[in-house]
Amino acid sequence: MNLQSSKAWKPLFAALAVVIAVGAFDGLRAEDRALVTRLVGVARIQKGGEGAFQNLKLRSIVNSKDKIQTGPQSNVVIIYQGKEIRLGPKTEVTLENLKSKDQPLQVKLKKGFTWIDVQKMKDQGVEVVSPTAVASVRGTKFSVSHDEHGSATCVCEGTVATRHVDEEDFEDVNKGYSNDFNEEGKVQTNDFTKLFRGLKVDNAFQSEIEKDPKMQDCTMCHKMTDLATDNSPDPTSY
């Protein structure tokens, strides 16, 4: 290649370098996006909470105000900055405050079940808001479910601050407990510490499921068994 032709190629090389640099930078920024990492069954997304719903796909990016609905026997996992958000069957949520520095990531749960794993970190916490309850955390594992009878907030690890959606004061809920909020604003605290051991739950929990079908969602993570006789190794992940 002579000197004149090499000079002619320089603008093209410069442009290509810019494209590569921008692509690499965009790849880094993608790590800070809410990404669908698991999709079982059928789910759909309404971008910005407006317009027509589209089929949700694996590796889809979820942005603030996007609304997600899951179908029967379906579940979705979303990863965002070290936070894991699981959605159970027949669930509808809207994510808000993504990338906000002064507000918690907000998961607005209209119906269904969501399980959250929040690693301890200095930045953004998580707040789950249902029609009857608010649960706020910075580092723990917990779930919130909602149906026509109200909301249940269950704590798998750590402590979760909960309150009725119309109240201002939070009440801490510890591991193994749940606070249930009905439509009338009443709260009921349940002690399940004797029924759960790690990721196993005693068969006696079935009576709780019969009283409140929302409790069935707990078996998505916890294995039903006879704790008195089950000496098998405990599952290692939720």
Q: Please determine, for residue 164, whether its predicted confidence score (pLDDT) is greater than 70.
A: yes
Average pLDDT over residues 167-184: 93
Domain boundaries, the chain: 3-225
Mind listing the pLDDT tens digit for each residue in 188-200?
Answer: 999 999 999 999 9
> Taking all residues of the chain, what is their mean pLDDT, rounded to a whole number?
87
Mind listing the pLDDT tens digit for each residue in 31-87?
Answer: 568 999 999 999 999 999 999 999 999 999 999 999 999 999 999 999 998 899 999
Show the 3-state SS of 102-159.
CCCEEEEEEEEEEEEEECCCCCCCEEEECCCEEEEECCEEEEEEEECCEEEEEEEECE
CATH of domain 3-225: 2.60.120.1440
pTM attached to this predicted model: 0.83
